[in-house]
Amino acid sequence: MSDLSSLALTHVAKLHAYTPGLQPTEAGWVKLNTNECPYPPSPRVAEALHEAIGPDAAALRLYPNPASTPVRAAVARLHGLTEADVCIGNGSDDILNLLIRAYCGGEAATGFTLPSYSLYPVLIGIQDGRMEAIEFDRSMRLPIDKIAASAARIFFLTSPNAPTGVGFGNAQIAQVLASFDGLLVVDEAYAPFAEESAIALLAAHPRLVVVRTLSKAFALAGIRVGYALAHPSVIEVLDRVRDSYNVNRLSQVAAVAALGDPSYYDGIIARVKATRTAAVADFAERRGWFTYPSQANFIFTEPKNARGESGAAVARSAYDFLCARQVLVRLFPSHALTASFLRISVGTDAEMRVLTDTLDAWLVRTAHNLPQ
Ligand SMILES: *Cc1c(COP(=O)(O)O)cnc(C)c1O
């Protein structure tokens, strides 16, 4: 066989992998590019992991609970639901993948908005599914009529949206549910930082799926746990298509410990929101930069140089200047609505000070047209 790549399925041969944000391995970076939590997880997580591993890690001989039953119970308790309404994934990316595996393909299209989480088209491509992308305009208001008119069997809505941070209220989501016939997935990766959650709509709307993750608000991106909340008949479909041991033993232990300590997380979520408010005010009042109202743990802001100009080249210049000084943020150059912005994860107050000091230095450079 001379050409190994020709053995792959035709649609797979054309795929491009999802591009995750950079994860630098050396120390010294102010890392504000992948919306991780700047604070550690609940201290109960370390205690539970130490206990689970024990002195000789003997428990790791054994397979984990195949259905992640203790995690389902903890999630159900947290949201006032039952275990039959919950499926646990190896990160919420696993849950999104299960939804695509079960509901995408053939003639029916899979819908999502642009911009939103760029993993959706990658997963649909792996399935060789048809896509229907619904474009926002600069207002970032939810295009309810366009979603309703779409022929999608399943539609992915990120709320609060990424990378803008704009949240959609339950009145709007209920309007979508009233007019769209398919399964509506609301990806709530950032909902703990938002004003409302679509979880309140689940009881009345069997075609709604809410997806959550422990990666952002629970400070556990490294353990890969996420979950779906939905009608038991949807959960039962997801259980049919998932790997039988999709969540490892230590991740289950860490997740149960974290989910059992909501008051700790109320504290760090409040800190992130306070830092977010201060950062948005700084960009608006001191710099005159436009920032979308954020209900997430990041802000999406349109930098202006010292001459008051904005645009893709200005955003790139600010990004490169920050990156050269080990401050990592995220740039989304491939879409006209996002190319002139920076997405900045909310860090600690000290990290945000490094960010704003570095942006001040960038402004001085742009004022004098100096090389970076
Ligand atoms: C971070 C993120 C995810 C992925 O979460 P994991 O649980 O880490 O896989 C899913 N959706 C959106 C919108 C995200 O921003």
Asked whether the beta carbons of 4 and 316 are under 8 A apart, the reply is: no
- From the CA of 190, how far away is ligand 1's center (Å)? 8
Query: Binning pLDDT at 50, 70 and 90, where does residue 213 land?
Result: very high
Q: Which atom of ligand 1 is nearest to the CA of 94?
A: 9
In the chain, where are the structural domains located? 4-31+263-367, 43-261
Percentage of the chain exceeding pLDDT 70: 99
Query: Binning pLDDT at 50, 70 and 90, where does residue 336 land?
Result: very high
Distance CA 310, CA 219 (A): 33
Tell me if 113 CB under 6 Å of ligand 1.
no
Q: Tell me whether the CATH fold assigned to 4-31+263-367 matches the one assigned to 43-261.
A: no
Asked whether residue 2 carries a pLDDT value surpassing 70, the answer given is no
Residue for token digits 């398919």? 182
pLDDT at 225: 98
Ligand 1 test: best mutation among 33, 95, 97, 213, most atoms within 8 Å of CB?
213
Query: Binning pLDDT at 50, 70 and 90, where does residue 368 land?
Result: confident
Tell me if 187 CB under 6 Å of ligand 1.
yes
pLDDT tens-place string over residues 6-17: 888 999 988 888
Asked whether residue 369 carries a pLDDT value surpassing 80, the answer given is no
- From the CA of 213, how far away is ligand 1's center (Å)? 6
Tell me if 90 CB under 6 Å of ligand 1.
no
pLDDT at 370: 63
- Give me the mean pLDDT over the 161-169 stretch: 98
pLDDT at 303: 97
Which residue has the CA at smallest separation from atom 12 of ligand 1? 189
pTM above 0.75, yes or no: yes
- Give me the mean pLDDT over the 39-61 stretch: 97
Ligand 1 test: best mutation among 92, 95, 218, most atoms within 8 Å of CB?
92
The CATH number that domain 43-261 falls under is: 3.40.640.10
pLDDT tens-place string over residues 86-119: 999 999 999 999 999 999 988 889 999 999 999 9
User: Under 8 Å CB-to-CB from 239, ≥6 apart: which residues?
Assistant: 67, 87
Tell me if 158 CB under 6 Å of ligand 1.
yes
Q: Which atom of ligand 1 is nearest to the CA of 226?
A: 7
Cβ burial of 352 (10 Å; 0-12, 13-18, 19+) is: buried
Cβ burial of 58 (10 Å; 0-12, 13-18, 19+) is: exposed
- From the CA of 288, how far away is ligand 1's center (Å)? 31
Asked whether residue 5 carries a pLDDT value surpassing 90, the answer given is no
pLDDT at 367: 85
- Give me the mean pLDDT over the 345-351 stretch: 98
Query: Binning pLDDT at 50, 70 and 90, where does residue 215 land?
Result: very high
pLDDT at 131: 96
Cβ burial of 172 (10 Å; 0-12, 13-18, 19+) is: middle
Distance CA 370, CA 87 (A): 54
Tell me if 117 CB under 6 Å of ligand 1.
yes
Q: Which atom of ligand 1 is nearest to the CA of 225?
A: 7
Tell me if 301 CB under 6 Å of ligand 1.
no
Q: Tell me the residue length of the chain.
A: 372
Residue 348, SS3 per DSSP: coil
Which residue has the CA at smallest separation from atom 1 of ligand 1? 189
Q: Which atom of ligand 1 is nearest to the CA of 162?
A: 13
- Give me the mean pLDDT over the 69-78 stretch: 98
Domain 4-31+263-367 in CATH: superfamily? Aspartate Aminotransferase, domain 1 (3.90.1150.10)
pLDDT tens-place string over residues 245-298: 999 999 999 999 999 999 999 999 999 999 999 999 999 998 999 999 999 999
Candidates 218, 166, 158, 230; CA nearest to 192 is 218
pLDDT at 333: 95
pLDDT tens-place string over residues 167-176: 999 999 999 9
* Residue, of 330 and 106, whose pLDDT is higher: 330
CA 281 distance to own-chain centroid: 24
Asked whether residue 1 carries a pLDDT value surpassing 70, the answer given is no
* Residue, of 190 and 16, whose pLDDT is higher: 190
Tell me if 221 CB under 6 Å of ligand 1.
yes
DSSP-assigned letter for residue 135: E
User: Under 8 Å CB-to-CB from 62, ≥6 apart: which residues?
Assistant: 249
- Give me the mean pLDDT over the 217-228 stretch: 98
Q: What is the rounded average pLDDT for all residues in the chain?
A: 95
pLDDT at 371: 59
